[in-house]
Structure formats: structure tokens, C-alpha cells
Amino acid sequence: MLEFEEDYIPGATIKVVGVGGAGGNAVNSMIDASLEGVEFITANTDQRALDISKAPVKLQIGSKLTRGLGAGANPDVGRKAAEEDVERLREALSGADMVFVTLGLGGGTGTGASPVIAKIAKEMGALTIAVATMPFAFEGRRRIQVAQKGYLELREFVDSIITIPNQSLFEICDKSTKLTEAYLLADDVLKQAVQGISDAINVTGIVNIDFADVRTVMSNSGLALMGTGEAEGENRAVEAARKAITSPLLKDFDISGAKNILLNITGGMETTLHEIEAVTKVVSEAAKGEAEIIYGNVINPDMQNRMKVTVIATSFRNDKSQVAGIPSEAQRKGTTTGMESGLRKAPESVSSSHEGVASAAQVRAPESSRGSSHAAMAALERELKSDDEDMIIEEIPAKSAGTGPAAPAARSAVNPEFISIKKIRENQSADVQKIHQILGGNDETDYFDIPAFLRNQAD
């Protein structure tokens, strides 16, 4: 009689690296939420931030360069700090099948160090996903430009980027929402983006989604959108599905034209076959019926009368490669947003518990796939990635110049309290000049010196 030995196949090893202040805060939020099957790491130039981190692995990067005092909102310092500790970062990421890099774009450590960390993860063979917040409009044009330039650099080294515009928090906050509560909402969105994917892999269900499914959907897949929705009651299936694909945080994005959709449905013991069909129908119709859907179903007795739907849509046929999270002209000029006019009552469909969460995720798309509708943004990308002498980053001492994932910018030691990016090319295209006007402001005055405790959130 033949005997067969069963091979033990361990689950995927998922590591989450919180980079900088915002990334570290997001990791603390995930630890508080008891995410399963995930290893947590924080990396920061600020020793004080590491002291309050709840992550079991804490990496102070660039201690020789910064002496534990932070990057001073300088991405070049953040990059050099990560390069100083490449081997320690490589050791911390060793063995990972999937790496999430969480950060806030626009600051120093998050913007500068994340591309270095993502590059290490990719080189080690891990599926690498960045989850990043974009600045508020009131933080000024220069900080937004720093975030945008950081985004363009980061996406070169990841499989996908989930971008979360902080400006969209105005859509789910009212005038009574405290600043600390607003940032907790941002942390919660970062957490849900990671949890939606990690739970799909780690939580065993009746119909399982495995790591190979996630890799197929997300690896070098172009634009991706991720949404999570939760509902209860008689019509919970349809409501949860609709929340997953329609959210104030999605803004102008939708899943129409996606080639691949990964769909995870979690419910109680009473989940029915008809409910599964109802969820897939809502999602399929939103994708215009063209997507191949890979779905999984998890039965969780604790869900009782509730249902949770997670949707990951990728490989879009239509061009949607614009940078998410850049405030519009109206937002920049304060006509639709601001501490007074921008805070408006949350839509009734969005609960205070933040049940419906959706985020825009993007990766590098081939030049040939870009449509004329986004020619202006494509032109801006080309300008931002052009010759080094086109950008002047003030505040970076000449002696700190070095090489890294992206070509170094021209440097001059000016006021260390600010980072300012100025375009000095005289022959800018009309498209780029138009975007310059959209971003608005005066080169010399349009920088809001946000207090340190605010800057640290995106650092």
C-alpha cells in the first residue's frame, strides 16, 4: 500500500513597515486593532517617536546623520538616513512574502526613506505595496509638490501604491471633529487598507483567497483601487458591497474598466448563497461586467448579523494614472475647503464608525497607455522627473549631497525651517504652466509653516 506524506505549507509572511511619523502612527493603530498574521516594524529618524511605538521591531535609521532628532521635513535627509542602515533594513525585511510600506508623503523621513525601503523589499522578492497619505491643501503648494515628487519616486520601487488624500477627510468630518480625531480617521484608513488585504490572505474561510491570488491581482498591475464596506440587517450584502465601491475617500475614482477584481466577503454563520450572488452582482456591474472576479468567503461567528466586503480592483483598461490626492484649484484657493468652509456634515451613508473605506492605489503605467485626458498630469510628471537642475530644494546643506534611488536635486543651504521647490526652466510647456496655476500661490509666500506636531503626522 502506498503512503503519501503531507507537505506542510506555511502561510505567507506579511510585514508592515511604518516609516516616519504617519507610518508609525498607522502601525500603532493596526497593533491596537489586533491584526492577525502580520509582523510590524517601525523605521524613523526620530528617537522620541520610536520610544512610543508599539511595534516589536524598532529601527532608528540614520543615527549618525540625524543623531535621533528627525529629518527636519527634508526628504534628502530621510533618504540618506535609510541608505545609512540598508543592511539593518534588509535583515528586518528578510523572509517576507509581502511588505506593506506605510507613510505620509510630504515630510522628511516618510517621503525620503520609503523608496529606499521599498526597493530593498522588491529586490528581496517580496510583493511590495505602499500605503501613503497625501497632504492637506492648507499645508501649502510646496509641501504638496514635495509629496507629489516623492510619490513619483516611490512608485518606481513598488508593485502598487494606495494613496489616501488627507483632504478627503473633510468629506467625512463635521465642524465639531477635533484635530486628533481627524488624524485617527486617517490612521484608520491606512489600517483598513492593510487589513483588507492581509485578512483576505490570513483568515481561513469556506472559499479561500491565497497569497498567489493576491500576487496575481496586484503584482505590477497598473492602477489599483481598494475599498472596504460593512453593513448589517436584511439588505446587508448589497449595502456592504456599495460602501466598498462608493466612498467619499474615492472621490473621482471608480472600478469601471478593471480587468481583475479580488473580492473577499466576511459574514456570520447565517450567510446565504443569495447574499454572495448579490455582492458579486453589485461589484460586477460597477466594473461594467468586464472583470475577472476572484472571490473568497470567510465565516466569522462574531460577525452575527453583519457583513464585510473588501474589493481590490486592478489592471484598468482606461487610463487612470493621475496622481491621487492633489487638491484641485478650488480647494487650493479655499472656495470649497478650509477649516471653516471645508468642514461639512458627513453624508448619511458614511457612519461615524467609518464603516465604508476606499482608497486609490496606483503603480507605474506604461507611457503608451496614458490617455489624452490626463496629458497635463503626464506633462507634470515628465517635468518633475527631468534634469536635476530643474528643481531647487532649499534647506539641504551642500555637504549632505549624495546619490540615491532618484537623481539628487540642486541644493543650497537656505532656511532650515522650510523645503521649497521652484521651477526655474523658462521654457515650460503650457500644460505644466497650467498645473502650476492650479497648484496656485506665490513662490515666495505660499508656504504654511504648519506647527511641528502637524508636520510630524506626515513626516
Convert the pLDDT of each residue in 247-272 to its tens digit: 766 655 688 888 889 899 999 999 99
- Tell me which of 241 and 248 has the higher pLDDT: 241
For residues 76-102, b (16+ Cβ closer than 10 Å) or e, as one string? bbbbbbbbbbeeebeebbeebbbbbbb
In the chain the first and final C-alpha atoms are separated, in Å, by 64
Is 21 marked within a binding site? yes
SS3 content of the chain, % helix, strand, coil (to 5): 40, 20, 40
Is 46 marked within a binding site? no
Are the CB atoms for 175 and 146 separated by under 8 Å? no
Domains of the chain, start order: 14-201 (3.40.50.1440), 219-366 (3.30.1330.20)
**What local confidence, expressed as pLDDT, does residue 189 receive?**
79
User: Does residue 388 surpass a pLDDT of 80?
Assistant: no
Euclidean distance between CA atoms 14 and 186, whole angstroms:
22
**What local confidence, expressed as pLDDT, does residue 97 receive?**
96
- Tell me which of 210 and 371 has the higher pLDDT: 210
Are the CB atoms for 222 and 34 separated by under 8 Å? no
% of the chain beyond a pLDDT of 90: 38
**What local confidence, expressed as pLDDT, does residue 324 receive?**
53
Is 257 marked within a binding site? no
User: Does residue 376 surpass a pLDDT of 60?
Assistant: no
User: Does residue 8 surpass a pLDDT of 80?
Assistant: no
- Tell me which of 126 and 399 has the higher pLDDT: 126
Convert the pLDDT of each residue in 142-181 to its tens digit: 899 999 999 999 989 999 888 888 888 888 888 898 988 8
Is 229 marked within a binding site? no
Is 205 marked within a binding site? no
Euclidean distance between CA atoms 95 and 356, whole angstroms:
33
User: Does residue 458 surpass a pLDDT of 90?
Assistant: no
**What local confidence, expressed as pLDDT, does residue 48 receive?**
95
**What local confidence, expressed as pLDDT, does residue 17 receive?**
98
Convert the pLDDT of each residue in 16-31 to its tens digit: 999 999 999 999 999 9
pLDDT band at 390 (very low <50, low <70, confident <90, very high): very low
User: Does residue 343 surpass a pLDDT of 90?
Assistant: no
% of the chain beyond a pLDDT of 70: 65
Pairing of the two strands 38-44 and 306-316: unpaired
Convert the pLDDT of each residue in 411-438 to its tens digit: 333 333 333 333 333 344 444 444 344 4
Is 110 marked within a binding site? yes
Q: Which helix (H) or strand (E) holds 129?
A: strand 127-134
Which among 111-115, 265-269, 391-395 has the top mean pLDDT? 111-115
DSSP state of 429: -
Is 24 marked within a binding site? yes
- Tell me which of 412 and 220 has the higher pLDDT: 220
For residues 23-56, b (16+ Cβ closer than 10 Å) or e, as one string? bbbbbbbbbeeebeebbbbbbbbbeebbeebebe
**What local confidence, expressed as pLDDT, does residue 63 receive?**
93
**What local confidence, expressed as pLDDT, does residue 363 receive?**
39
**What local confidence, expressed as pLDDT, does residue 96 receive?**
97
Is 242 marked within a binding site? no
Convert the pLDDT of each residue in 278-325 to its tens digit: 999 999 999 887 788 988 888 888 998 999 998 988 887 764 544 555
Is 442 marked within a binding site? no
Is 204 marked within a binding site? no
Whether the full predicted model's pTM is greater than 0.85, yes or no, is no
Inter-CA distances, 280 with 268, 287, 388, Å: 18, 10, 48
Is 143 marked within a binding site? yes
Secondary structure class of 69 (helix, strand, coil):
strand
Convert the pLDDT of each residue in 128-147 to its tens digit: 999 999 998 988 998 999 99
Pairing of the two strands 98-104 and 127-134: parallel
Convert the pLDDT of each residue in 73-99 to its tens digit: 999 999 999 999 999 999 999 999 999
